[in-house]
Structure 1
Amino acid sequence: MPFPASVTTVTTLVAVIALAGCAALVDNRADRRESEWMQEFPPLGQFVEVEGHRIHILVTGRARGTAPDLVLIHGANGNLRDFTFDLVALLEDDYRIIAVDRPGLGWSDSWGDADSDPRLQARVLHEAVEQIGVRRPLVLGHSYGGAVALAWALQNQRDTAGLVLVAAASEPWEGGLSFWYGLNETPLGTPARAIVTAFATESAINAALDKVFEPDSVPAGYSEEFGVGLSLRRESQENNNRQVNALRDYIVQMQPDYPSLTLPIEMLHGDADTIVGLDIHSRRFVGEVASANLTVIPGAGHMLHHTHPQAVIDAINRVRRRSGR
């Protein structure tokens, strides 16, 4: 999910606050909104401790041992509520589902700079779900979560039944990221994040959701279930921006190992996705990994698990069959 306020609004407010010296007022308002959001969107699952930090996971669906385990890994600026909005209910009759909050997002603790590496995130999440008896799961990753799913498979290929990569960030890209991500690498990032927390409006949030879903429509009720406020917290913004800014360099390190992957991989990508480009990522990946199969959905955008859920379910079931689960 992208940043939910316009560049003009952010830079203007930063300048105003710098001139007026009212940073304390902004922080007080941000504190109040964060407290309200955390009460409104509490943890849905349980906490598992890894290396002295807490990871938030939700386990639902079939009982352990009666169906394949399916791990769901969300994208940038997200949390596991992205899956509980609709996809989980469509899958829980056929799978034991383990949805996770990635380190530093949702209700999971951050490892600081170390969790900028999707490989650390994969290791931590693997260790977390092992504690609840997950063995040889199917792993689905959306967007940034696709990079984490790939890191998971590179580290644990023998213990992973297969991958489902939905609009996944998998390949190095040319050029930089948006102005907002660049701003967050400067000293203005801290006051800018505070301003967003304190003053982000419903219209700005809706505009951001429209952008990430386009050309499709945002499903009714999505914002209320997803808990946008969890992503607008200052710490969550900081963690997300740090992770996204660092992602390309880590993918450069991971890419040479992709041909070693032999487990079943199903990829889904919309050809109208403007967040993670089809040609830059999935089309290149399938040329590198013989076990990867790509399904392109004409006219579809980035949020396929909401706009084309049956296609996602079909991909999960294909991996299940290919893996012998």
Structure 2
Amino acid sequence: MTRILMALACLLAACAPLADRRAARIEARNPPQGQFLEVAGTRIHAEVRGHGPDVVLLHGASGSARDMDDLARRLQDRYRVISFDRPGLGYSGDLGTAGLSPLVQADYLRAAAAQLGVREPIVLGHSYGGAVAMAWALIEPKTRGVVVVSGAVLPWEGGYDGVYGLAASPLAEATLQPLAAAFMPDWLLDHIIGTLFAPQPLPPDYAADTGAELALRPGPMRTNLRQLTHLKAYLWRMGPHYRELTLPIEIVQGSADRTIAPRVHAIPMTALPNVHLTLLPGVGHMAHHAAPEAVIAAIDRVARRGRVSPPATAQGASAAAHPRPGP
């Protein structure tokens, strides 16, 4: 037993430098493609393309702005598309414990968008990014509308928060996470991504095209798990304020989504009069890849429906819950 423990200790001690060297190789293969903006001392990475009304794209858990590249290319002939790396992921800086809040993430991204001249955007969020898109609307009364794609926007009972809590525990951060960062094989990463696309097949070049391996770097892996662990608690706080919003909200989700249950997150939102749901039969979690036309149609509907300014209580209720880094 003593020898086993000593061997494990040696393995863990070797993991950190191995993981750091692997992270350097990953970044060399997947350099940042956009520009950097500084918000309250933190760098935010953004990719901008196209011309027209502003559409902000927010990726989900474990991802980066590159997951939105295909959708951005489809939109750029009619919209100016701003794709952000959420704080702590991709090439955006980490905000520490404050960044576990979707409200804080949204405020930093909103301040970065303001530096790009964005004033009344349509904000689209996929998966975890859906929560950040809703947070954006709560703190910014000039948001034109929100599109939530397979988004986690309401709290749920039980489920993955316990699993994520274990994976983000101090013990796991000292053991499992360094091991995964150093040694997780490509085939396992592809398998995990494949479960998100199911029942649709994983596109053969998806991982390479989107730089999916960026999520294996130690910092983003740790931040991602922490964000997921704390998400439900913030949704409990945000959910009651959704009724204060009067801007158009479009929800697009697959009926076969095994990651975010439509009956928990999408269907209950239709109780709000300004919410329109598009439920896609047989489509899984990656609806913006499996059915991009439906997502673009939702963006176009928001653009046509325009914006009705929400009452002051919508901004006030959420703004008091977190620090504001910018204008």
Counterpart CA distance in 2 for 1:227 and 1:169 is: 23
Counterpart CA distance in 2 for 1:149 and 1:17 is: 47
Give the alignment partner of residue 156 of structure 2, picking from 173, 183, 189.
Answer: 173
Specify the alignment match of 1:79 in structure 2: 64
Give the alignment partner of residue 15 of structure 2, picking from 13, 21, 26.
Answer: 26
1:1-325 correspondence runs (5 A):
19=8, 21-62=10-51, 67-84=52-69, 86-157=70-141, 159-177=142-160, 179-287=163-271, 289-323=272-306
Please report the TM-score for the alignment, with normalisation by the length of structure 2: 0.90
Tell me by how many angstroms 1:320 deviates: 0.7
| Native 8 Å contact 1:184 1:190 kept in 2 | no
| Native 8 Å contact 2:19 2:182 kept in 1 | yes
The runs of 5 or more residues in structure 2 that have no matched partner are 309-327
Deviates more, 1:117-126 or 1:171-180: 171-180
Counterpart CA distance in 2 for 1:302 and 1:111 is: 27
Tell me by how many angstroms 1:179 deviates: 3.1
Quote the sequence identity (%).
42
Tell me by how many angstroms 1:181 deviates: 4.2
Tell me by how many angstroms 1:83 deviates: 0.7
Specify the alignment match of 2:316 in structure 1: none
- Matched residue type, 1:73: L
- C-alpha change, 1:18 and 1:163, in structure 2 (3 Å) is farther
Counterpart CA distance in 1 for 2:7 and 2:195 is: 30
Aligned pair count reads: 304
Counterpart CA distance in 1 for 2:165 and 2:286 is: 21
Counterpart CA distance in 2 for 1:125 and 1:25 is: 36
Cα-Cα RMSD: 1.6
SS at match of 1:134: coil
Deviates more, 1:219-228 or 1:242-251: 219-228
Tell me by how many angstroms 1:74 deviates: 0.5
Cα deviation, 1:127-175, whole Å, max 9, x if unaligned, reads 0010110010111010100000001001112x11111110111111000
The runs of 5 or more residues in structure 1 that have no matched partner are 1-14
- Matched residue type, 1:271: S
Tell me by how many angstroms 1:189 deviates: 2.5
Tell me by how many angstroms 1:88 deviates: 1.3
Counterpart CA distance in 2 for 1:251 and 1:119 is: 10
- Matched residue type, 2:61: A
| Native 8 Å contact 2:20 2:218 kept in 1 | no
